Amino acid sequence: MIEAILFDFDGTIADTAPDLGYALNRQLIARGFSPLPIEQIRTQASAGSRGLLNLGFNLKPGDSEYETMRDEFLRFYAERLCHETRLFPGIVAVLDRLEVDHLPWGIVTNKPARFTRPLTHALGLEQRAACIISGDETTNTKPHPEPLLTACRHINVSPQNCIYVGDDIRDVKASLAAGIKPIVARYGYLGSDAPPESWGADHIIDRPEELLNYL
């Protein structure tokens, strides 16, 4: 029996790619490079600064310039945090229905709290969510199961009675490790070369409203 629904944030509840892409393209333009199209940015948006710096500059954690470039990226992102970010079409209707049915829902994201909190507030989610677990609020981040298990404790629900909806393979890995049923949001960013059908999820949805059909 499903007693609670947990969601990833970037690429699942909110389309944050335009504002994340702005930060990356600002860095590219400042260094004489052409900006990247939003379609290319979307593929790495779920991975945040790490994925986008790899996309734009082939930089990885541990590279000599990585920390400086990440700090600059995050500063640019913070300056334009919710300019073009929007909830995905259909998300509001899904959350409304969950609340009518008295199914608590929460957010579990690798995004740091300094971005998650103002974003969820601006999008009208902060007071509605039963829990919001950000990436720097647990010792480990996804694909480790700790953030999801922490959310289950906050909501007071057993993992086996919970669903996690996400758009990245690490969301599925974290779910399975936590004993939670994973659902892939194929309308999201899907930052993996492997097709979502191969990730091992319980179900795949192409629109948020399809979650209600699954339930």
> Catalytic residues, which ones?
8, 10
Q: Which backbone phi and psi does 197 adopt, to 5 degrees?
A: -60, -20
Residues contacting residue 174 through CB under 8 Å, at least 6 positions apart: 142, 143, 144, 145, 147, 148, 164, 166
The two tokens of residue 49 are: 């600064």
The CA distances from residue 112 to 48, 57, 116, in Å, are 10, 22, 6
Are the C-beta atoms of residues 24 and 73 closer than 8 Å to each other?
Answer: yes
Omega before 118 within 30 of 0, i.e. cis: no
Ramachandran quadrant class, 214 (left: phi over 0; alpha: psi -120 to 50; beta: rest):
alpha
The CA distances from residue 45 to 15, 101, 141, 186, 198, in Å, are 9, 32, 16, 14, 21
